[in-house]
Amino acid sequence: MSKLLVNKYNVAGPRYTSYPTVPYWNINTFSLKKWKSSLIQSFNESNTKEGISLYIHLPFCESLCTFCGCNKRITKRHEVESPYINAVLKEWDLYCNLFNTKPKIKELHLGGGTPTFFAPNNLEKLINGILSNATLADGYEFSFEGHPNNTTKTHLQTLYNLGFRRVSFGVQDYNDTVQKAIHRIQPFKNVKQVTEIAREIGYTSISHDIIFGLPFQTEAHVETTIEKTKQLKPDRIAFYSYAHVPWIKGNGQRGFKDKDLPTAESKREQYQLGKKLLSEAGYLEIGMDHFALQTDALYKAVSNKKIHRNFMGYSASKTQVMVGLGVSSISDSWYGFSQNVKGIEEYYHLINEGIIPVYRGHILNKEDLIIRKHILNLMCQFKTSWTSTHNYFTELPETLIKLKEIEQDGLIIMGSNQITVTDKGKPFVRNICMAFDLLLQRNKPDSQLFSMTI
């Protein structure tokens, strides 16, 4: 990754966990009625064949990590657990009442916040409540995000007994100065302990999240973190750029000054070093920012061309429907998106009124669906084509003109009816997707909406 290319392409851009991206949702034509209709249609088309995915947002954390861009509520009061779980189960009932048969769960993920803020018995109550109104698909996958400082053996055993086989631990960086800046004090011994316990219990996929571009972070810090990570040999590694978006997240990302952040060139060097070290350790690049051992299901999904990307990130299987439960969760019917209210009190109020707590969303039109396929192809397979009329859109000639310069820079190979991202171009896949993003092209934002691409 040359300095020239970094300077050229380091612009604000989406991470494309959806298309259209959230800032470009047409909320004026969206309604809860339309959302329910799109969901019922998609459920009827796909539940029997492939099942659905379920994301449950558990927002509570005992302390604030200043690198985090998630919706969370900071509290040490654990009496908040039961009311929240009861509300999530009521929301699940509201969705199940829309369907003419029991949902078949293919994937279930607990995110946050800090899912392991919740006591093991309360997590058991949550999962059992969900499963009481559902069946399980063949090869289902349950996963959760665990905080190494508070994930206990009882957490891991309880969730394993409920069917969880994948866990992701947030590492970020092992350097003391960096940890203090992001308010995430987390010794290596804590990560080592929970990783080894998870492996002993029988978890088949253990993931570590590592971030580059954090305040005060250097190449030496990245190298030390990856060297320590190699000792534990997690099955997957998410190695991604810190998204500095304080204009969205407010004081949560102002625990340090902008001058404390690495330069774009320094981030580039951190990324290149990290990618090299991971490759030498046997990790193969999967999509954007993700690496996996050949034995992991995510690598196998890439080999079988079944990898998918949604609001939960990369997934080893695709479902047409993803239902999000809990505050701020986003749902996807393929034909539409919806997002829940972000305030816990408002969420409780709507649930108690028997109302699915959606506050905004977007119903995709024909053009949206075509562009969505192209961007998904690029993010998951690093290539896309328009050999079929179903993949053609009116502004494709203009898009190809935009891609010419990207081709000249060696980031893609253009054929008569397809493009393929080169190895050189993989770090710039967000920029390549932006050439297809018609809504972004038509409505250039007046202020910065997204993090920088590098």
Pure H helices in 264-355: 264-280, 297-303, 344-352
Tokens of 449: 């909406």
Pure H helices in 162-234: 176-181, 188-201, 219-232
| CB neighbour list of residue 221: distance below 8 Å, 6 or more residues apart | 173, 174, 175, 178
113 is in an annotated binding site: yes
172 is in an annotated binding site: yes
51 sits in the region (left: phi over 0; alpha: psi -120 to 50; else beta) called left
111 is in an annotated binding site: no
At residue 427, the 3 state secondary structure works out as: helix
Which of these, 145, 58, 27, lies nearest to 326 by C-alpha position?
A: 58
61 is in an annotated binding site: yes
- Report the C-alpha gap between 313 and 330 in whole angstroms: 12
68 is in an annotated binding site: yes
- Report the C-alpha gap between 442 and 208 in whole angstroms: 38
Tokens of 110: 């607990």
240 is in an annotated binding site: no
242 is in an annotated binding site: no
330 is in an annotated binding site: yes
Q: Which residue has the tokens 């690198």?
A: 67
114 is in an annotated binding site: yes
70 is in an annotated binding site: no
Pure H helices in 106-203: 120-131, 153-161, 176-181, 188-201
- Report the C-alpha gap between 85 and 129 in whole angstroms: 9
| CB neighbour list of residue 230: distance below 8 Å, 6 or more residues apart | 277, 281
- Is-cis flag, bond preceding 113, omega within 30? yes
Which of these, 160, 84, 71, lies nearest to 118 by C-alpha position?
A: 84
Query: What is the tally of helices (H) and strands (E) in the chain?
Result: 16, 19
Pure H helices in 23-148: 32-50, 81-96, 120-131
67 is in an annotated binding site: yes
170 is in an annotated binding site: no
- Report the C-alpha gap between 156 and 77 in whole angstroms: 22
313 is in an annotated binding site: no
Task: Say which amino acid occupies 94.
Answer: L
**Tally of CA atoms within 13 A in the half-sphere of 280 that contains its CB:** 11
Residues tagged in the binding site annotation for S-adenosyl-L-methionine = 55, 67-69, 112-114, 145, 172, 184, 209, 243, 330
Annotated binding site: 55, 61, 65, 67-69, 112-114, 145, 172, 184, 209, 243, 330
Q: Which residues define the annotated binding site for [4Fe-4S] cluster?
A: 61, 65, 68
